[in-house]
Structure 1
Amino acid sequence: MSRLLGAVLAGGLSSRFGSDKAQAMLGGQSLIDHAMATLRRHADDVIVVGTRAGGLPDLPREGLGPLGGIAAALDHAASHGFRCVLTIGCDMPRLPDALIPALLERGPAYCEDAPVLGHWSAALGAHLLSHIEIAPNRSVRGWARSVGALPIMSPTPLANVNTVEDLMAL
């Protein structure tokens, strides 16, 4: 069995939310705790990436968006004996039950509607660091396509919390 690391990406500035959305509460639990609970159902261990949330710093440096968080997770996984990483944003509290198993059946794979939700080989870390330095487009989707990751459609629309109004609608 391959060891799977779960990584919550929580390094964003939450500028549209107005405060640290990772700590926003939904049903008596913070959004970051919701994400960690989701990952614990599938992963052997779970980490947080994002220094605001007390997690690992992005690689190769801060300010690169989700790719920097994924790079940090891949690096941590490779150096700690994990073969794969399952990444999720801290702002995705309610995922369809079948979505993560669909990602884990394939790999690399990502959610077409929210590419920060992905299943990646830890061996892709060096490729991602190179991509960050040379690619003009630093989108997760662009990097995912460059490594042949499969886009997986969510069976239902995803709830993504970017604003207080988004959170209140859940």
Structure 2
Amino acid sequence: MMKTVGILLAGGLSRRFGSPKAFAELAGSTFYERVYEALDAACDQVVIVSRKELLERFSQHLDVIVDLPEVRGQGPLAGIYSAMMLRPAERYIVLPCDMPFIGVDETLALIKLAGEAKGIAAVMTPNEKIPLFSIWNGDYSAELKDAIDAGSLGVFGFLDNIQMEWIDAHSINKELEVFRNVNSRID
């Protein structure tokens, strides 16, 4: 059976949001708790990738890491790379903390729809591609490190150069609002 590690990205600077998004609350839970739950139901292990100054704020029983020193502060690709290097697996499910409406059902549906894809499978709506709600089969750590070393830190730029499959969000959930990235406070 294929080992699956969930990568919860929770290290962004949250400039537009005004405070770390991981700890914002929605319906009595923090964003990171909601995303963790969505990943935990589908993965053998979940690792949270964050920043050193936020480590104490996460529950102590969780597996929380920071980017490796050679890629620290280089964005989501660095977080994915660090998780791959520190938590080896055959498959990774990536989900950022600022997508708290994605739940267990959506994560399990993505796994089913991605099947045995050889590259990376991510979600797209009619209006946008959502590269960080994705499944990464295999180890792309060498390619990620090369991109980071070259200063190519954009997720889309990276995905343009590898085997990629886009999955229609409607096949996961007809309510496309669940796929939104939260960049401002929710009242």
> TM-score band (shorter)?
0.7 to 0.9
Secondary structure in 2 matching 1:88: strand
Deviation of 1:102 after TM superposition, in Å, equals: 2.3
Gaps (5+ residues) in structure 2?
Answer: 56-63
Provide the residue aligned with 1:117 in structure 2.
133
1:128–1:36: structure 2 CA closer, same or farther, 3 Å change rule? same
Task: Map residues 24-35 of structure 1 onto 2, 5 A cutoff.
Answer: 24-35=24-35
Secondary structure in 2 matching 1:35: helix
Match for residue 133 of structure 1 among 121, 135, 149 = 149
Secondary structure in 2 matching 1:163: coil
Output the CA distance in 2 between the equivalents of 1:127 and 1:117.
Answer: 19
Deviation of 1:121 after TM superposition, in Å, equals: 3.0
Q: How many residues align?
A: 162
Deviation of 1:143 after TM superposition, in Å, equals: 1.1
Provide the residue aligned with 1:102 in structure 2.
113
Output the CA distance in 1 between the equivalents of 2:181 and 2:45.
Answer: 24
Match for residue 63 of structure 1 among 42, 59, 73 = 73
Q: Is 1:49 the equivalent of 2:49?
A: yes
Match for residue 184 of structure 2 among 154, 163, 168 = 163
Tell me which moved more, 88-97 or 124-133: 88-97
**TM-score when normalising by structure 2:** 0.78
1:17–1:104: structure 2 CA closer, same or farther, 3 Å change rule? farther
Secondary structure in 1 matching 2:163: coil
Provide the residue aligned with 1:72 in structure 2.
82
Deviation of 1:53 after TM superposition, in Å, equals: 3.9
Output the CA distance in 2 between the equivalents of 1:118 and 1:138.
Answer: 17
Provide the residue aligned with 1:154 in structure 2.
169
Output the CA distance in 1 between the equivalents of 2:54 and 2:115.
Answer: 26
Runs of 4+ with deviation above 6 angstroms? none
Partners of 1:36 and 1:46 within 8 A in 2:
yes
Identity, in percent, stands at 31
Output the CA distance in 2 between the equivalents of 1:16 and 1:100.
Answer: 31
Secondary structure in 1 matching 2:36: helix
Tell me which moved more, 139-148 or 22-31: 139-148
Tell me which moved more, 38-47 or 67-76: 67-76
Tell me which moved more, 48-57 or 31-40: 48-57
Secondary structure in 1 matching 2:134: strand
Partners of 1:7 and 1:46 within 8 A in 2:
yes
